[in-house]
Structure 1
Amino acid sequence: MVENSGGRRVFGAHWAFVAFFAGVVGYHLVTLVTTAAVNHQTGDDDPLDLPAGPALLLAFLPNLVLGLGPVAGSLRFGAGLERDFGLRATWRDIRIGLACGALALVVGYLLNLGVLAVYGGDDVSDSPLTDLPDVSDGSYAWVAAAAAILIVVVPLTEELLVRGTLWNALVHHRVPSWVVLVLTALVFAQLHGESTRMIALFGQGLVLGLARYRSGRTAASMVAHAANNLPPAVLLFTGH
């Protein structure tokens, strides 16, 4: 079970904490830049006025940055990606991940229904994925690329950050397992920046964390996350 990420310190803090905050800071900085690039509409000659297809993929760039801190920290200060995170999925990881991914879908659906019942549909924001097909420049290729990123890249980078580095750092400091599970779920929900979906995201984060807890490996939570993202990725084509 991958539950220890070594004890090396960077700037006085455990390296996994530093890698986590580096990923979060990079994510928000790149989000600011990409948001400006996608939304900037000042003229045909503006270098930031991107075609719709590349702009679609540019929206995922901050997610890529999330994984840079964990990867760089592990390679430089940790024991390597496999020993720190357990990225090579075993059959046990896949079984646990698929089960937790299916459960996360159910939990998210039920919690969203509850939020809708309380606040009503007008006060609950749609997922950011809702508008992706509308900016795909009329090409299934761009939607397919976005779906692939949603299923493969997003689970990889988000899990490396939250249930990889942050989880390992908390475990290193002997934080109780149930506290680690709750804290990482809260960070996962907050990271998405969708206030009206926060409860559902928190519930799903708990289930994805359960995959990491049961297996002791980040690979299982990545499989669970990918399974959870599969239906929304497929739905991108129905809205095209």
Structure 2
Amino acid sequence: MDREPDQDVRAGLVLGAHWGFLAFFIGIGGYHLANLLIAVFFSGHFGGFDQLELHDVGPLLLVAFVPNLLLGLGPLIGSKLWGLGLRVDFGTIGLRDIKVGLACGGFALLAGYLANLVLIAVYGTERASENPLTDFSSELGGSRLWLVLAALIVVLAAPLTEELLVRGALWSALDRYKIPQWVTLVLTAIVFAHLHGEPTRTIALFAQGIMIGLARYFTGNAGAAVVAHAANNLPPALLLLGGN
């Protein structure tokens, strides 16, 4: 006999599937739609707008972050409407989560560094070194305020929204169907690498995604992955501040 709609809601199902899948696609869809609208809007003003390249003034940083913000909106809405709440669905951040997250974040930095050595051998120094943060200091006009805001987004906001989506909603949905966790670890790392849209850094991003995902793997909490992601992003953010 088919489930009644209220039974599906109590079971955390939407359209017969775990709500995490819908939350994931809402987040991804919102992200790409926002990128498209921003590109269309700014193409007539700046001769081509890339969400990873802030062109004239610091306030564009806020516009550039809108797509990333939408990544986390899907999981937040999904947890509230169909899940058990943020604390239960994604976990809280305890002392163990912080310790494991910092360790995994450190290994993510190491994995990224080693993978970049391979990229340098394949693509050469110039292409392998491409990074959206490289030119932030000059593009923000040397404004300390906007550099600090950019650094906070890199260390705090971006890890939170991306991890809610990938190691939160998607991971939980795959868990619901008893997918082996090592498979989930690999799949979410692939999604993480693809999400950044940096082809020459895909290998490095995948390796970092594995290390960050291990924080969720060992603790069962998406919060630990947020800590690992933040630790991984901290050195680039410090370099961003130091570039001014």
Cα deviation, residue 12, structure 1: 2.7
- Runs of 4+ in structure 1 deviating by more than 6 angstroms, as ranges, are none
Superposed CA offset, 1:73-115 (max 9, x none): 00000000000000x2100000000000011001001101111
Superposed CA offset, 1:165-189 (max 9, x none): 0000000001011100000000000
211-220 or 131-140, which moves further after superposition? 131-140
Q: TM-score, normalised by structure 1?
A: 0.90
1:167 and 2:171 are equivalent in the alignment: yes
- Contact 1:38–1:55 (Cα < 8 Å) also in 2: no
Which of 33, 36, 41 lines up with 1:32 in the alignment? Answer: 36
Residues 136-147 of structure 1 correspond to what in structure 2 (within 5 A)?
136-147=140-151
Which of 188, 192, 198 lines up with 2:192 in the alignment? Answer: 188
Cα deviation, residue 42, structure 1: 6.2
Cα deviation, residue 40, structure 1: 4.0
1 CA distance for matches of 2:206 and 2:43? 29
Q: 2:233 aligns to what? A: 229
- Contact 1:56–1:135 (Cα < 8 Å) also in 2: no
What's the C-alpha RMSD, in Å, of the aligned pairs?
Answer: 1.7
1 CA distance for matches of 2:70 and 2:103? 28
1:107 and 2:92 are equivalent in the alignment: no
> Which consecutive unaligned segments of at least 5 residues does structure 2 have?
1-9, 48-54
Which of 84, 96, 105 lines up with 2:89 in the alignment? Answer: 84
1 CA distance for matches of 2:197 and 2:56? 26
Q: 1:70 aligns to what? A: 75
Distance 1:234-1:77 versus aligned 2 partners, 3 A rule: same
Distance 1:180-1:164 versus aligned 2 partners, 3 A rule: same
Q: 2:217 aligns to what? A: 213
Cα deviation, residue 132, structure 1: 1.8
Aligned-residue identity in percent:
55
Q: Secondary structure at the match of 1:79?
A: coil
